[in-house]
Amino acid sequence: MISRMPAFQAERWGRSFLHGATVDTPLEARAVYAGAIAEVARSVIGLNVLRSMPPAFSDPLEKDLRDCIKIKPDPERPSITRSIIDSDFEDIGTFIDLQQKAFEFNTGFFQAVSRSLPPLASDQTHQERETFSTTPTSAPSLEP
């Protein structure tokens, strides 16, 4: 069984994810880069971003994802669940598949997290693109 994180935990998790993914990014580019990472996180490669972070950032985030995965040990009593343990998995691929599903299930909030990013960086970049595309690059021709 895979569950969603509570809203406040999910928002904190998202901020930590974005911080971990952008920690080596120059400060002036961080807000723009974080917006892009938020979009990537919503895609199927988001878990790869998590796994490529330094362990100081990724380990607590991965633990939070593991906490979203529960096992129903007794089919006769489906209301009883427990946290997963190492011996639940004979094959690491099964665990990775479950972790991927937990990641996908819990990253819908990235749309909200990306809205909470400083708007000036992304708006400024958009405005600059518009300015660059409409501003002449040379003086008008003086031909008759």
- State how far the Cα of 144 lies from the Cα of 142, in Å rounded to an integer: 6
Confidence check: pLDDT of 55 > 90: yes
Q: Which two tokens stand for residue 29?
A: 């580019």
Quick one: pLDDT band at residue 144, thresholds 50, 70, 90? very low
Instruction: Transcribe 9-70 into DSSP letters.
Output: HHHHHHHHHHHHHHTTS-GGGHHHHHHHHHHHHTSTTHHHHHHHS-HHHHHHHHHHHHHTBE
pTM of the model: 0.68
Looking at residue 125, what is its pLDDT?
46
Q: Which residues sit opposite 59 in a β-bridge?
A: none
